[in-house]
Amino acid sequence: MKRPQLHVSASPHLHSGITVNCIMRDFILALLPAVFAGWFYFGWRALLVLIISIAAAMATELLWDKLVGRPVGLRNGSAIFTGLVLGLLLSNQVPWWIPVVGALVAIVAGKELFGGLGNHPFNSSLVGWAFLAISYKDILENYPTPEPKFLLEAGEFLVDPAIYALKDGGVDAIIDVPWKDFVLGNVPGEIGTICVIAILLGGAYLLYRRVLTWHIPISFIATVWVFGYVTSIVDPDTYASGTFHVLGGWTLFAAFFLAPEFGTAPVTFGGKIAYGIGCGLLTMIIRIWGTYNEGVPFAILLMNSVTPLLDKIRPRVVGRVKEIA
């Protein structure tokens, strides 16, 4: 009988079946609750911003691949993820060209210039966002009050995002906001960052699927909480509580969807913990004493830059001769 040609490769001859596409699909699925919340509070315009942002990101990646002569194709869905995250960080009031510019910068300067997914030093969505925040500050900071589609009444304790209110008005400005509003997301803010429940749902999904490990999100959130708790004990009239700092603003969204981005975060156990703590500390320092309102984005970008250092906190190698003898 004629024998077939045999396929030859190095071992192993099995694979878990989990590919980059699967991971990106999981990330996008995990963001869907936040997308839903965005529509629920901010209406169809919010979805339009997201769609423009995703489309612009995909188009940029396609064009870039053509330009540099890489095999064209949205190879792994990472452009969708970057575009989606960027869109979720914007207000639904931005003009159409804002997400386009943001996505362009995010994909080109944030990712492709460095060789694509996994090789970029800074969180790609945040690079796009930071560019917008610095260039078009006033256009970005136009946050409407949410108008829930059904069931809820519009939350009316705040007219600005909670962190902004805290900065401008001190603790008194936010002390009366019911926790319920934070948890449900019934406060002014960006499309994707306001609804705590939606974000936690997505985060739990990522942890359950083991796409992410717990280290970065938990150490990040815990640090923010502890920092807030300690400062508010020291001086409750000046500083908001730890719970406020966790629930208000970008903390939770960033802990699950920004800080752990592959390529920009450390991969070792110790590195991840240190990174999470660093993100938390910087967030709080900027929020409390910095000039920016929201400390999260610049905290993450700063920590991204020390990721290679943090990766030096290595696991113990098994079988090192010197240590044994």
Query: Which residues form the interface with other proteins (CB under 8 A)?
Result: 1-4, 6-20, 22-23, 115-119, 209-210, 213, 262-263, 265-268, 272, 311, 314-321, 324-325
Task: Please state the closest distance from residue 121 (CB atom) to other proteins, in A.
Answer: 11
C-alpha separations of 240 from 155, 180, 185, 236, 297 in Å: 20, 17, 18, 7, 20
The terminus-to-terminus CA distance of the chain in angstroms comes to 58
**Closest CB to other proteins among residues 91, 304:** 304
Task: Please state the closest distance from residue 321 (CB atom) to other proteins, in A.
Answer: 4
C-alpha separations of 323 from 269, 311, 318 in Å: 21, 21, 10
Task: Please state the closest distance from residue 260 (CB atom) to other proteins, in A.
Answer: 9
Sole residue written with tokens 């449900």: 184
Task: Please state the closest distance from residue 185 (CB atom) to other proteins, in A.
Answer: 30
The C-alpha R_g of the chain, in whole angstroms, comes to 21
Task: Please state the closest distance from residue 152 (CB atom) to other proteins, in A.
Answer: 35
**Closest CB to other proteins among residues 9, 291:** 9
Encoding tokens for residue 294?
């929201």
**Closest CB to other proteins among residues 137, 316:** 316
- Sort 213 into a burial class: Cβ within 10 Å, 0-12 / 13-18 / 19+: middle
**Closest CB to other proteins among residues 115, 169:** 115
Task: Please state the closest distance from residue 128 (CB atom) to other proteins, in A.
Answer: 19
Cα 244 to Cα 33: distance, rounded to the nearest angstrom: 22
**Closest CB to other proteins among residues 134, 318:** 318
C-alpha separations of 58 from 18, 65, 138, 225 in Å: 23, 11, 27, 37
DSSP letter string over 215-263?
HHHHHHHHHHHHHHHHHHHH-TTTS--HHHHHHSTTHHHIIIIITT-TT
Sole residue written with tokens 């000039």: 291
